[in-house]
Each structure stands twice: as C-alpha cells, then as structure tokens.
Amino acid sequence: MLNKVLDLLDPLLILSAALMGVALYLIFIWVPTETNQGAVQRILYFHVPVAWGSMLGIFVVSGSSFMYLWKKTEKWDRLAVASAEVGVIFGGMMLLSGMIWARPVWAVWWTGEAKLTTALILFFIYVAYLMFRAYFPPGAQRQRLAAIIGVIGAVDTPIIYFAANLWSQAHPPLITGPAADAESALGSDLGIVLTASTVAFTFLFIYLVQTRYKIRKSEDDLVELKRAVSTSAMTGAN
C-alpha cells in the first residue's frame, strides 16, 4: 500500500517546483517590505516553513517508528530513516536562517532563550537518531531501539511550538497555528505569502522523503542481492 502511494507521488516534483516558483514570486516581488525590519523580514517566509518541515519530519519519524514497533514491517523503518534524514536538513536550515535573521534584528547570532534551545534540542534528537543508526550493528535490535528513540523524540515538538508563549522571551510570538495570539497574527498579505511558502516547502519535504525512501529501498535490495550471490557461490562450490 505504502509503496503504491510512494510510486504515485512522482508528480510531486512538478507540483513542488511550481509552488516554489509561486512562493518565491510572492516573497520577493509581490509582498511589500515590512517597515520595521526592512528586507530582512523576508527571511521569515523561509524560516517558518523550514521550521514546520523539521517538526513535520519528527512527527513522521515518530509515527513510522510507532508503526514499525507495531507491525514490524521494513517499509515503516525505511520511512522513518528517510524522514529523519530530510528532517535534519530542514532542522539545520531552520537554525541557520534563524541565526542569520537574529544578527541584524537582535544584534547577536544566538541567545539561550527557550524557543531557540528547544529547536536546537530537536536538531540534536535528529542527529542522535541518525548517529545511533549509523554506529549500532545492523539488525532487528537496531531498528527497534531506533524506533523507540524516534517515538520519544516527538515529545520536543509541542514544547518548541508553545515555547514562545510559555516563556515569553526574545523570540517573536506565535503567528500561526491554534495557539497564535490574534494581535500578533500576520496580516492578510503576509499570511498569504507565509501559507504559500509553507505549502511549497511541505511538498518539497515530501518529495525529498520519497526520493530518500527509494534510495533506502535500493540499499536493502542490494543487501538481498549480495546474500543471493554468496548463496549461489556456496551452492556452486558444493
């Protein structure tokens, strides 16, 4: 079922490219420059979608890991690994874009406030998950333990989302989602651009996960082939 869905996702490449083109047009040409921050405010249209992508990634890792623990099917493990790898890319971009935005606006690259710290923890969760898989010996035990890490890792996501409201520090307040403050919510023009950009990056995220999933499947197929070759060699020797 999952394989069939993934095979059908190829048009996502075209769709995500078209949506990204629209988003870039809106970001750089259509939306007016914000008066207080100037052009640097446009980083928001990149920072928020990649932050969303990194959180979406950990949800997919967590969900797939849970499904793997339940069903013990390889495809869920592959999906978790693919999502973790793409998620760490998005997480790294979230941190980088946030730091570059903070330099002209806060006059510092980094500060130890709650939202930044919890976002950094999410990045480290991804790194820990991937490092564990890279260094632990292959087998069912590695997949099971990695799945447990994946499920636990998602706990950080709601903390990141609510951090700006819970601790009220330097990070701008929530502008989207159920907990967003009505006064600080984006105006109509800014909201349209942010939504378009988020949709475009979501499709890009799905496409990258799909591609990584296929590579992962090829890796598994290669292992199977190597096993078949050595078996046939042993049969030939006998």
Partner 1 sequence: MISNVTNTVTTTRTIRFVLAAFIALSAFAFATQISSAEHEPPVSGIVVGVETDDNGNLTRFAVSDSTGTVTTFTIFDGTEYGLENQAGDRWVSTQGEEPSESARRLRDHRERFAPITVVFENGTAFSVVEREQGKLETNLGYLFAVFAVTWALFFAYVLYMGRKQRVLQHEIARLKGKIG
Closer to partner 1 by Cβ: residue 176 or 211 = 211
Handedness of CA 96, 42, 116, 61 (dihedral sign): negative
CA distance 40 to 34: 9
Tell me: does residue 27 bind partner 1 (CB under 8 A).
yes
Residue with token string 């480290």: 124
Tell me: does residue 177 bind partner 1 (CB under 8 A).
no
Closer to partner 1 by Cβ: residue 104 or 191 = 104
Shortest approach of partner 1 to residue 104 CB, angstroms?
A: 5
Tell me: does residue 37 bind partner 1 (CB under 8 A).
yes
Q: Name residues contacting partner 1, limited to 55-94 (CB under 8 A).
A: 89, 92-93
Inter-residue contact 45 to 27 (CB < 8 Å): yes
Shortest approach of partner 1 to residue 218 CB, angstroms?
A: 5
Shortest approach of partner 1 to residue 112 CB, angstroms?
A: 17
Tell me: does residue 21 bind partner 1 (CB under 8 A).
yes
Tell me: does residue 202 bind partner 1 (CB under 8 A).
no
Q: Which residues contact 58 (CB under 8 A, 6 or more apart)?
A: 87, 122, 125, 126, 153, 154, 156, 157
Inter-residue contact 118 to 156 (CB < 8 Å): yes
CA angle 122, 123, 127 (to 5 degrees): 115
Sole binder of partner 1 in the list 25, 70, 109, 136 (CB under 8 A): 25
CA angle 29, 202, 81 (to 5 degrees): 140
Inter-residue contact 52 to 201 (CB < 8 Å): yes
Site of interaction with partner 1 (CB under 8 A): 10, 13, 16-17, 20-21, 24-25, 27-29, 33, 35-40, 42-43, 46-47, 50, 89, 92-93, 96-97, 100-101, 103-105, 107, 207-208, 211-212, 214-215, 217-219, 221-222, 225-226, 228-229, 232
